Chains A and B, each alone.
Chain A
Amino acid sequence: MTEPVGQSDVTEPVEQSDVTQRTEPNGPAARRTSVLIIAVHTATFRQARQFVPAVIPLIAAAGLNGGRTTVVALVVGVTLLSLGTAALSWWRFSYTDGPSSVVVTRGLLSRSVRTVPNDRIRGVEVEAPPLHRVFGLVRVRIDAAAGAADKDEELVVDGVSRAEGDRLRTAVLTHRQAPAAVPDAPREEEFGRFDNRWLLYAPLVGSYLALPLAAVGALFRVAQELPENLRPNLDDAALASVRGLVIGLVGAAAVLLAGSVIGAAIVNWGFRLVRRGGSLIAVRGLITRRHTELEIDRIRGATIAEGAGMRLVRAARVNALVTGLGDAHRRGQLLPLGPRSEAWLLAHRIVAEPGPLRAHPPAARRRRIVRATLAGLVVTTAGLIATAVAGWVWLLVVGLVLLGLGVPLGLGRYAALGHAAGPRSFSVRSGWLSREHAVLQRRAVVGWQVRQSFFQRRNGLATVVACVGAGRGGYASIDMAADDVAGFALAASEPWAATLSRPAP
């Protein structure tokens, strides 16, 4: 029963004096992680990694000239070091999930005891990286952040059996809620399931396109380290020829397309979103299975994001806005990638539909166009001067092109603007390159901020930010009619917002 916890980010070994289960005078037993985790951490050098900077100069000093014996000795030494630190780490680590708090004890030299009250726990994530799966282990992350996505705010219990992981998750989440709120056998209801055809959307999403780029970058770094005679021999003439260039570009495009689809598949494979009791549970991942639990009570709304590329194929992604969720961008994902219709169905199961968006006044369109063409105007003016003074025409051409592109950009940005207030929820939308539609519950609003610049004042416009204790912290309705501000704020939040329009008694 004694399973220690491994703090996966802060990886010092845990200080725990007895190896066997320890019973505290007035509390549940301290548990230990599985011994098998030592094998995993030895193989991945989890603890030993921090010694790498110290070992490299040693190796450099000793040199690698000794031939096979030296190499073997080195490998054995490093493995032993890793084994030792992993074992020490395991030995020093324990965790306790009590009725009121979770306590994690660890520390190599100085003992650290962290206590997190159950009511501060915002979510529990169970993940199974590939090596863990070989040994039947999982890693449990207990999220205790109060809004800040600070790594230090989470507890990590690394290396417990799958059954213990599930027990811990249930126990922590059950303790936190009123006991009556948890039915004996919570019914599971499926909210969404990933269709693998949706992976084809991946090349149109910026963040998935970045995956193969990062991989290629890493490859290049490795190539730089290779000895001279092992590097592929590309002579400059081949690179310079048009044919070489075309082949290179086509190859790069193919790698990018395939890489983004593969990357999306690895991250999202088998994505499933179910509701169990008071929680939404998302499971996904090909190599590392992630199991994220969000408490429905803490969900304040959802964002539906559509990038410029995704809009072409009517694709979208959905994120839940959960109060106090660390790393919300990844953990809050309800639909990583999918058709827009699917996205909206899901979003409206989370938060009530506030009705169709109201467009913003024509002055807002003028303002968007002016702002989008400003850079073009500056360059064009500079170009006119340059043409007159020095005869440089190219600057003028660049300026005119920018000016021309600014108009559709401004129109596009204007078209994205909108807001709506319904009986139980409201929504705001903005953005062109990445258009984001936020739908929020009325109770989500913890404050309003109204901003009016000099130019907005002259045009009768204002920007209203709904301050929310989830997601980005604020969602703005940009350039709405100044006269509508007070009415919208009152319609979209609770009666205190009447302060905006009514003088104090």
Chain B
Amino acid sequence: MTTAPLPVREPAWSLSRSAIGLWVTEGVLSSLGIAIAAALFAIFVPEDAGGPLPLLRWLVPIGAAVWAVATIGVRPWFRFRVHRWEVTPDAVYTLTGWLTRTWTLVPISRIQTVDVTRGVLQQLFGLSSVAVLTASSQGTVRVWHLEADVAQRVADDLAHRAEQVRDIAT
């Protein structure tokens, strides 16, 4: 994506491979919604309407198709490549984002709570997300889509270690 050196290093680990399946499913669902909307548009807008409508009759289905290809065929693999995470002896570290990349680092000594959440789709794929919260509203680390057992292990481990090394936590 770029040749410029990164400002900070990349976290070491990728998310679960199942996340790709989840993202593809999400892409299929959103594409279906858009396809239905586009079909309704094509059916109910009269062919001889004035203004930009004749042009839109072509553009809307094309846009919907491009969206479907991007969200189903491209975005899941891109996302998989740009989401990275790592738990070191001292800290939790994540990287997200493609155009704007965001690295977040939170030391274990300042962790206040660790949340594990499972959405409906995530349950189908056996995935969970982990959120690590600190006293700062901006210092929140979220790791999306880990295998459920990995997520639970990570959360338990972090909570346990946070308790042992916690200083003032703020």
Contacts and interface: CB of A to CB of B under 8 A. Distances in A.
Contacts of B99: 453-454
B34 interface: no
A482 B5 CA distance: 8
A452 B100 contact: yes
Contacts of B108: 496
A489 B105 CA distance: 10
B9 A474 contact: no
A458 B4 contact: yes
Contact of B7 (A446, A450, A497): A450
B109 A496 contact: yes
Contacts of A385: none
A467 interface: yes
B141 A447 contact: yes
Interface centre among B93, B106, B139 (most CB of A within 10 A): B139
B137 interface: yes
Given A449-B138, A469-B134, A494-B107, A457 B4 contact: yes
Nearest to B87: A504
A450 B100 CA distance: 10
Contacts of A465: 138
Contacts of A449: 102-105, 138-139
A363 to B, nearest CB: 12
Most chain A CB within 10 A, of B8, B104, B109, is at: B8
Contacts of B107: 446-447, 494, 496-497
B28 interface: no
A126 to B, nearest CB: 25
B91 interface: yes
B136 A503 contact: no
Please classify how large the interface on chain A is, using the bins under 10, 10 to 19, 20 to 34, 35 or more: 35 or more
Interface size classification for chain B: 35 or more
Contacts of B45: none
A452 B103 CA distance: 9
A502 B9 contact: yes
Contacts of A469: 110, 134-136, 139, 170
Contacts of B139: 446-447, 449, 467-469, 473-474
A462 interface: yes
A229 to B, nearest CB: 55
Contacts of A485: 7-8
B9 to A, nearest CB: 6
A499 to B, nearest CB: 5
Nearest to A298: B170
Contacts of A460: 4
Contacts of B90: 495-496, 498-499
Interface in B140-154: 141
A482 B136 contact: no
B7 A452 contact: yes
Nearest to A485: B7
A501 interface: yes
B164 interface: no
A324 B134 CA distance: 12
B110 A451 contact: no
B134 A504 contact: no
Find the residue from B136, B139, B169 having the highest chain A CB count within 10 A.
Answer: B136
A320 to B, nearest CB: 14
Given A452-B101, A485-B8, A501-B8, A446 B137 contact: no
B77 to A, nearest CB: 19
Contacts of A462: 7
Contacts of A502: 9
Contacts of B168: 443
Contacts of B100: 451-454
Contacts of A323: 135, 170
A457 B2 contact: yes
A486 B7 contact: yes
Interface of B: 2, 4-9, 12, 86, 88-91, 93, 99-110, 134-139, 141, 168-170
21 contacts: A443-B168, A446-B136, A447-B105, A447-B110, A447-B134, A449-B102, A451-B101, A452-B7, A457-B2, A457-B4, A457-B101, A458-B2, A474-B138, A474-B139, A486-B7, A496-B108, A499-B90, A499-B91, A501-B9, A502-B9, A504-B88
Given A449-B138, A486-B8, 12 more contacts: A323-B135, A451-B100, A451-B102, A452-B7, A469-B136, A474-B136, A482-B7, A483-B7, A495-B90, A499-B93, A500-B9, A502-B9
The 10 closest A-B pairs by CB, nearest first: A469-B135, A467-B139, A447-B139, A474-B138, A482-B7, A496-B90, A473-B137, A467-B136, A496-B107, A446-B110
